[in-house]
Amino acid sequence: MKEILRLDNVEKYYGRGSSLTKAVDGISFTVNEGDFVVIMGPSGCGKTTVLNCISSIDDVTSGKVYLDGDDLTKVSRKSKNTIRRDKLGIVLQDYNLLNNLTVYENISLAMSIKGIRVRKDDPTILKLAEELDIKDLLERFPDQLSNGQRQRAATVRALVTSPSILLADEPTGALDSESSSMLLSKLFHLNSRNGVTVLMVTHDVFAASYGNRVLFMKDGMIFHELNRGDKTRKEFFDEIVSIYSLSGRRNISAD
Protein backbone atom coordinates (compact mmCIF):
# COMPACT_ATOMS: atom_id res chain seq x y z
CA MET A 1 0.00 0.00 0.00
CA LYS A 2 1.42 3.37 -1.00
CA GLU A 3 2.27 5.74 1.82
CA ILE A 4 0.98 9.27 1.18
CA LEU A 5 1.74 10.98 4.45
CA ARG A 6 3.91 10.19 7.46
CA LEU A 7 4.55 12.18 10.58
CA ASP A 8 7.51 11.03 12.70
CA ASN A 9 7.55 12.33 16.25
CA VAL A 10 6.37 15.81 15.28
CA GLU A 11 6.52 18.51 17.91
CA LYS A 12 5.25 22.03 17.52
CA TYR A 13 5.76 24.43 20.39
CA TYR A 14 4.62 28.04 20.54
CA GLY A 15 6.19 30.68 22.75
CA ARG A 16 8.95 30.01 25.24
CA GLY A 17 9.73 29.88 28.93
CA SER A 18 6.67 30.15 31.14
CA SER A 19 4.44 30.88 28.12
CA LEU A 20 5.49 27.72 26.22
CA THR A 21 2.56 25.86 24.66
CA LYS A 22 3.17 22.31 23.48
CA ALA A 23 0.49 22.41 20.78
CA VAL A 24 1.73 19.15 19.23
CA ASP A 25 3.80 17.01 21.56
CA GLY A 26 5.36 14.07 19.71
CA ILE A 27 2.91 12.77 17.13
CA SER A 28 3.54 9.92 14.70
CA PHE A 29 1.12 8.40 12.23
CA THR A 30 0.90 7.28 8.62
CA VAL A 31 -1.81 7.79 6.02
CA ASN A 32 -1.79 5.32 3.13
CA GLU A 33 -3.39 5.80 -0.24
CA GLY A 34 -7.14 5.23 0.03
CA ASP A 35 -7.29 5.77 3.82
CA PHE A 36 -9.90 7.91 5.53
CA VAL A 37 -8.15 8.88 8.75
CA VAL A 38 -9.76 11.05 11.40
CA ILE A 39 -7.97 12.82 14.22
CA MET A 40 -10.48 13.43 16.95
CA GLY A 41 -10.05 15.46 20.09
CA PRO A 42 -11.40 18.40 22.06
CA SER A 43 -10.91 22.03 21.11
CA GLY A 44 -7.35 23.18 21.80
CA CYS A 45 -5.78 19.69 21.72
CA GLY A 46 -3.67 20.58 18.65
CA LYS A 47 -5.63 19.27 15.66
CA THR A 48 -5.33 22.39 13.51
CA THR A 49 -1.65 22.66 14.39
CA VAL A 50 -1.09 19.12 13.07
CA LEU A 51 -2.74 20.08 9.77
CA ASN A 52 -0.75 23.33 9.64
CA CYS A 53 2.47 21.34 9.99
CA ILE A 54 1.39 19.17 7.04
CA SER A 55 0.33 22.10 4.87
CA SER A 56 3.54 23.94 5.84
CA ILE A 57 1.65 26.91 7.24
CA ASP A 58 3.67 26.18 10.38
CA ASP A 59 7.22 24.88 10.57
CA VAL A 60 7.58 21.97 12.98
CA THR A 61 9.73 22.48 16.09
CA SER A 62 11.14 18.97 15.63
CA GLY A 63 10.29 15.72 13.90
CA LYS A 64 9.61 14.87 10.28
CA VAL A 65 6.72 15.26 7.87
CA TYR A 66 6.83 13.23 4.66
CA LEU A 67 4.29 13.92 1.93
CA ASP A 68 4.40 11.69 -1.12
CA GLY A 69 8.04 10.96 -0.37
CA ASP A 70 9.13 14.59 0.12
CA ASP A 71 10.58 15.50 3.51
CA LEU A 72 8.75 18.78 4.15
CA THR A 73 11.08 19.70 6.98
CA LYS A 74 14.01 19.79 4.55
CA VAL A 75 12.69 21.55 1.45
CA SER A 76 12.80 25.30 0.76
CA ARG A 77 9.85 27.61 1.41
CA LYS A 78 9.30 27.89 -2.34
CA SER A 79 9.16 24.11 -2.78
CA LYS A 80 6.79 23.87 0.17
CA ASN A 81 4.40 26.23 -1.57
CA THR A 82 4.58 24.18 -4.76
CA ILE A 83 4.07 20.93 -2.86
CA ARG A 84 1.07 22.38 -1.02
CA ARG A 85 -0.45 23.60 -4.30
CA ASP A 86 0.15 20.35 -6.17
CA LYS A 87 -0.44 17.69 -3.55
CA LEU A 88 -2.94 19.00 -1.02
CA GLY A 89 -6.63 19.69 -1.22
CA ILE A 90 -7.76 21.68 1.79
CA VAL A 91 -11.25 22.19 3.22
CA LEU A 92 -11.67 24.45 6.25
CA GLN A 93 -14.62 25.16 8.49
CA ASP A 94 -15.41 28.47 6.82
CA TYR A 95 -15.31 27.64 3.07
CA ASN A 96 -13.07 30.54 1.94
CA LEU A 97 -14.88 30.90 -1.38
CA LEU A 98 -14.41 34.21 -3.18
CA ASN A 99 -17.75 36.03 -3.08
CA ASN A 100 -17.29 38.01 -6.29
CA LEU A 101 -16.79 34.83 -8.35
CA THR A 102 -19.40 32.22 -9.23
CA VAL A 103 -19.03 28.72 -7.85
CA TYR A 104 -17.78 27.55 -11.26
CA GLU A 105 -15.21 30.36 -11.35
CA ASN A 106 -14.08 29.61 -7.80
CA ILE A 107 -13.49 25.99 -8.77
CA SER A 108 -11.81 26.74 -12.09
CA LEU A 109 -9.53 29.28 -10.42
CA ALA A 110 -8.08 26.47 -8.30
CA MET A 111 -7.27 24.61 -11.51
CA SER A 112 -5.75 27.66 -13.22
CA ILE A 113 -3.52 28.36 -10.21
CA LYS A 114 -2.16 24.84 -10.56
CA GLY A 115 -1.60 25.40 -14.28
CA ILE A 116 -4.39 23.08 -15.42
CA ARG A 117 -6.21 24.32 -18.51
CA VAL A 118 -9.92 24.74 -17.83
CA ARG A 119 -12.22 23.85 -20.67
CA LYS A 120 -15.70 25.25 -21.24
CA ASP A 121 -18.12 23.11 -19.20
CA ASP A 122 -15.03 21.33 -17.96
CA PRO A 123 -15.83 17.62 -17.54
CA THR A 124 -13.70 17.26 -14.39
CA ILE A 125 -15.61 20.10 -12.73
CA LEU A 126 -19.01 18.84 -13.89
CA LYS A 127 -18.35 15.28 -12.73
CA LEU A 128 -17.23 16.30 -9.25
CA ALA A 129 -20.02 18.89 -8.98
CA GLU A 130 -22.50 16.16 -9.74
CA GLU A 131 -21.00 13.87 -7.11
CA LEU A 132 -21.25 16.60 -4.51
CA ASP A 133 -24.73 17.59 -5.62
CA ILE A 134 -23.94 21.18 -6.61
CA LYS A 135 -24.15 20.83 -10.39
CA ASP A 136 -27.21 23.09 -10.59
CA LEU A 137 -25.53 25.73 -8.47
CA LEU A 138 -22.37 26.35 -10.50
CA GLU A 139 -23.50 29.71 -11.89
CA ARG A 140 -24.52 31.03 -8.49
CA PHE A 141 -22.41 33.20 -6.22
CA PRO A 142 -21.37 31.82 -2.82
CA ASP A 143 -23.77 34.12 -0.93
CA GLN A 144 -26.64 32.54 -2.87
CA LEU A 145 -25.87 29.13 -1.36
CA SER A 146 -26.67 27.49 1.97
CA ASN A 147 -23.77 26.67 4.29
CA GLY A 148 -23.95 23.01 3.32
CA GLN A 149 -23.88 23.85 -0.40
CA ARG A 150 -20.92 26.20 0.15
CA GLN A 151 -18.97 23.48 1.92
CA ARG A 152 -19.69 21.00 -0.86
CA ALA A 153 -18.54 23.62 -3.39
CA ALA A 154 -15.36 24.10 -1.36
CA THR A 155 -14.87 20.33 -1.45
CA VAL A 156 -15.16 20.27 -5.24
CA ARG A 157 -12.63 23.11 -5.40
CA ALA A 158 -10.25 21.15 -3.15
CA LEU A 159 -10.54 17.95 -5.19
CA VAL A 160 -10.69 19.26 -8.74
CA THR A 161 -6.90 19.41 -8.95
CA SER A 162 -6.61 15.69 -8.01
CA PRO A 163 -4.53 16.20 -4.85
CA SER A 164 -2.71 13.29 -3.21
CA ILE A 165 -4.69 13.87 -0.03
CA LEU A 166 -7.68 15.89 1.13
CA LEU A 167 -7.10 17.67 4.45
CA ALA A 168 -10.30 18.73 6.18
CA ASP A 169 -10.31 20.86 9.35
CA GLU A 170 -13.66 20.62 11.15
CA PRO A 171 -15.49 20.65 7.78
CA THR A 172 -18.88 20.24 9.47
CA GLY A 173 -18.16 22.74 12.25
CA ALA A 174 -20.54 25.37 10.88
CA LEU A 175 -23.19 23.04 9.44
CA ASP A 176 -26.58 21.91 10.73
CA SER A 177 -27.00 18.18 11.30
CA GLU A 178 -28.63 17.48 7.93
CA SER A 179 -25.93 19.31 5.94
CA SER A 180 -23.26 17.64 8.09
CA SER A 181 -24.58 14.15 7.34
CA MET A 182 -24.77 14.95 3.66
CA LEU A 183 -21.21 16.27 3.46
CA LEU A 184 -19.86 13.34 5.50
CA SER A 185 -21.66 10.79 3.31
CA LYS A 186 -20.15 12.48 0.26
CA LEU A 187 -16.67 12.29 1.79
CA PHE A 188 -17.29 8.66 2.70
CA HIS A 189 -18.28 7.84 -0.90
CA LEU A 190 -15.46 9.84 -2.45
CA ASN A 191 -13.13 7.75 -0.31
CA SER A 192 -14.75 4.34 -0.72
CA ARG A 193 -15.77 4.59 -4.41
CA ASN A 194 -13.27 7.01 -5.91
CA GLY A 195 -10.30 6.19 -3.69
CA VAL A 196 -9.82 9.76 -2.46
CA THR A 197 -7.39 9.78 0.50
CA VAL A 198 -8.75 11.82 3.40
CA LEU A 199 -7.33 13.19 6.65
CA MET A 200 -10.04 14.96 8.64
CA VAL A 201 -9.77 16.52 12.08
CA THR A 202 -12.82 17.07 14.24
CA HIS A 203 -14.05 17.32 17.82
CA ASP A 204 -17.30 15.65 16.79
CA VAL A 205 -17.87 11.92 17.37
CA PHE A 206 -20.57 11.75 14.71
CA ALA A 207 -18.21 13.17 12.06
CA ALA A 208 -15.41 10.87 13.22
CA SER A 209 -17.60 7.80 12.75
CA TYR A 210 -17.45 8.28 8.96
CA GLY A 211 -13.72 7.56 8.92
CA ASN A 212 -12.03 4.20 8.65
CA ARG A 213 -9.40 4.90 11.27
CA VAL A 214 -9.74 7.27 14.21
CA LEU A 215 -6.76 8.64 16.14
CA PHE A 216 -7.73 10.07 19.51
CA MET A 217 -5.82 13.18 20.47
CA LYS A 218 -5.47 14.97 23.78
CA ASP A 219 -3.01 17.61 25.00
CA GLY A 220 -0.98 17.45 21.79
CA MET A 221 -0.64 13.66 21.83
CA ILE A 222 -2.37 10.66 20.26
CA PHE A 223 -3.45 8.30 23.03
CA HIS A 224 -5.52 5.70 21.20
CA GLU A 225 -6.44 4.42 17.75
CA LEU A 226 -9.50 2.59 16.44
CA ASN A 227 -10.07 0.86 13.12
CA ARG A 228 -13.53 0.54 11.68
CA GLY A 229 -12.91 -2.93 10.26
CA ASP A 230 -16.23 -4.25 8.98
CA LYS A 231 -18.31 -2.44 11.58
CA THR A 232 -21.25 -0.32 10.47
CA ARG A 233 -21.05 3.42 10.98
CA LYS A 234 -23.41 3.18 13.94
CA GLU A 235 -21.36 0.43 15.60
CA PHE A 236 -18.18 2.43 15.00
CA PHE A 237 -19.88 5.51 16.46
CA ASP A 238 -20.69 3.59 19.66
CA GLU A 239 -17.13 2.35 19.90
CA ILE A 240 -15.72 5.87 19.46
CA VAL A 241 -18.11 7.20 22.12
CA SER A 242 -16.95 4.56 24.58
CA ILE A 243 -13.28 5.49 24.12
CA TYR A 244 -14.08 9.18 24.26
CA SER A 245 -16.06 8.93 27.49
CA LEU A 246 -13.35 6.75 28.99
CA SER A 247 -10.77 9.44 28.25
CA GLY A 248 -13.12 12.02 29.81
CA ARG A 249 -13.37 9.97 33.00
CA ARG A 250 -9.60 9.58 33.09
CA ASN A 251 -9.44 13.31 32.74
CA ILE A 252 -11.70 13.91 35.69
CA SER A 253 -9.93 11.44 37.96
CA ALA A 254 -6.55 12.85 36.92
CA ASP A 255 -7.75 16.33 37.89
Residues engaged in binding ligand ADP (CB under 6 A): 14-15, 21, 23, 41, 43-49
Q: How far apart are CA 170 and CA 204, in angstroms?
A: 8
CB nearer to ligand ADP: pick between 52 and 108: 52
* Number of residues binding to Mg ion, judged by CB under 5 A: 1
How near is the Cβ of 204 to Mg ion at its closest, in Å? Answer: 12
CB nearer to ligand ADP: pick between 37 and 125: 37
How near is the Cβ of 52 to ligand ADP at its closest, in Å? Answer: 7
In this chain, which residue has its C-beta nearest to Mg ion?
Answer: 48
CB nearer to Mg ion: pick between 41 and 163: 41
Residues 6+ apart with CB under 8 A from 161: 86, 89, 110, 111, 114, 116
Contacts from 171-176 at CB under 8 Å and sequence distance 24+?
A: 171/91, 171/92, 171/93, 171/200, 171/202, 171/207, 172/202, 172/204, 172/207, 173/93, 173/202, 173/204, 174/93, 174/94, 174/147, 175/147, 175/148, 175/151, 176/147, 176/148
Q: Applying CB under 5 A, which of residues 48, 151, 164, 179 lies at the interface with Mg ion? A: 48
From ligand ADP, Mg ion, none, interface partner of 248 (C-beta below 5 to 8 A by class): none
Q: How far apart are CA 192 and CA 209, in angstroms?
A: 14
How near is the Cβ of 145 to ligand ADP at its closest, in Å? Answer: 26
CB nearer to Mg ion: pick between 131 and 169: 169
Interface residues with Mg ion (CB under 5 A) are 48
